[in-house]
Amino acid sequence: MRLFVAVVPPVEAIDHLDTFVEPRRAAADFRWAAVDQWHLTLTFMPQVDPWRIDDLVARLGEVAGRRASFRLTLRGGGAFPNPARAKVLWCGVGGETDALASTAAATRNAANAAGAVPSGGPFRAHLTLGRLGRPSEISSWVRLLDAYEGPSWTVHELGLVASHLGEGPRRRPRHEVIATVPLAQPPKE
């Protein structure tokens, strides 16, 4: 199974960003990510044996149980690999990003310990908005997103999400939350 550990922003944060992006969607050739699947990926595991999932969930629960809730906001933006030759447009993340990064590192370690080998490079907090079929210059989109700042929210849980390739609308991936693990401690004051 294709799995990832994610933070899913609350409806208020998603709706705020969607309201900002919606009137601009028709002006670009992006394959826009489905709003109901927007998330922040902490750890991606491209191939996990189903029999490893229970151990993975238990290890993620241990990670979450040792962490305080933290506050985030969606803000700014960027492009992978860069705005001049972009293939991905993304919204950035602000707030307690050190807590988010350390949680991502801990979930990666938990995945490795459970035999669910993660892939990908260093963690870069972002929410994918859209993809391009070929590298394109999108500096104007990045500048537009630089002006965006959404409402802040508290992260209370992590989700383990299955990505079912080709099962969503227009043969895109369909995401299914298969487990959630709560962050056990209240936010730091």
- What are 8-45's pLDDT values in tens digits? 999 999 999 999 999 988 888 899 999 999 999 999 99
Residue 142 DSSP SS3: helix
Confidence of residue 100 (pLDDT cuts 50, 70, 90): very high
Across 51-65, average pLDDT:
97
Q: Which two tokens stand for residue 151?
A: 């409402």
Asked whether residue 187 carries a pLDDT value surpassing 80, the answer given is: no
Domain count, the chain: 1
pLDDT at 168: 56
pTM: 0.92
Tokens of 101: 């990064």
Residue 103 lies in a domain: yes
- Inform me whether the pLDDT recorded for 121 exceeds 90: no
Percent of the residues in the chain that have a pLDDT greater than 70, as a whole number? 94
Residue 130 lies in domain: 3-182
Domain presence at residue 113: yes
Sorted by sequence, the CB contacts under 8 Å of residue 104 that are 6+ apart come out as 5, 42, 43, 123, 125
Confidence of residue 149 (pLDDT cuts 50, 70, 90): very high
- For residue 40, tell me if it sits in a domain: yes
Q: How confident is the model over 154-181, as a mean pLDDT?
A: 85
- Give long-range contacts, CB 8 A cutoff, 24+ apart: 36-39: 37/168, 37/173, 37/174, 37/175, 38/8, 38/9, 38/14, 38/127, 38/128, 39/6, 39/7, 39/8, 39/9, 39/127, 39/159, 39/161, 39/175
State the CATH number of the domain containing residue 89.
3.90.1140.10
DSSP 8-state assignment for residue 186:
P
Give the helix, strand, coil percentages of the chain, each rounded to 5: 35, 40, 25
Residue 88: inside a domain: yes
pLDDT at 28: 81
